[in-house]
Amino acid sequence: MDNNVIATGFIVLVCISAIVLESKRKPRAAGKILWLEHGLTYKAIGLIGPAVTAYIIANELSSGRPIKAVILGSVFAAMNVPIFLLAFFWRVGYDQSGLYCYSPWRATRKVAWDEIKAVRFSAPLKHWIILTNTKGSVRINQLIAGTEGLVEEIRSRGIR
């Protein structure tokens, strides 16, 4: 077996383990708002991805393979851009007023507690889905620190 394959497998194992461990920490408190957001490992992956993409493009261009550079660069960018955006521009906060939702995919939303109609867990996607009356759904991966506390808060308000 190739040493690069073993090293890559080890790095992936370490990253996944770190993300799982980070999911056990408490959410970040800022004033009275508790913020659910991606941890340092996911943010590091979000930064490394574009750097790897740039390296692959530069390597292929310097080897005189511009078409391969475009193809591989496009594939890696398509994989890495969403991770980068989620790592740095997604977060959900909550306090006594309700939820504050920031996402690279949607407009910023404030959702009052009485606007939430249900909370469900999607086993295939491994995330919580908070359904609202008028503001769509809020999806939170189970590996985001503080998710269990938010779900408990929603259920303590009689929302199932």
- 30-37+90-160 topology per CATH: PH-domain like (2.30.29)
Q: Write the CA distances from 34 to 41, 59, 77, 143, 156, integer angstroms.
A: 20, 43, 32, 16, 16
Instruction: Determine the Cα angle at 95 with ends 93 and 101, to 5°.
Output: 25
With 80 as the cut, is the pLDDT of residue 159 above it? yes
Domain boundaries, the chain: 30-37+90-160
Check pLDDT > 70 for residue 13: yes
Q: What is the pLDDT of residue 24?
A: 84
pLDDT tens digit string along 41-82?
999 999 999 998 999 999 999 999 999 999 999 999 999 999
The proportion of the chain whose per-residue pLDDT surpasses 90, expressed as a percent, equals 81
* Whether residue 1 has pLDDT greater than 80: no
Q: SS3 for 56? A: helix
pLDDT, residue 10, reads 85
What DSSP character marks residue 27?
Answer: P
Q: Kindly report the average pLDDT of the chain as a whole number.
A: 93
Q: Which long-range contacts (CB under 8 A, 24 or more apart) does 104-113 make?
A: 106/136, 109/135, 109/136, 109/138, 111/135, 111/138, 113/154, 113/157, 113/159
Q: What Rg value do the Cα atoms of the chain yield, rounded?
A: 19
Structure tokens at 141: 């991966």
pTM of the model: 0.86
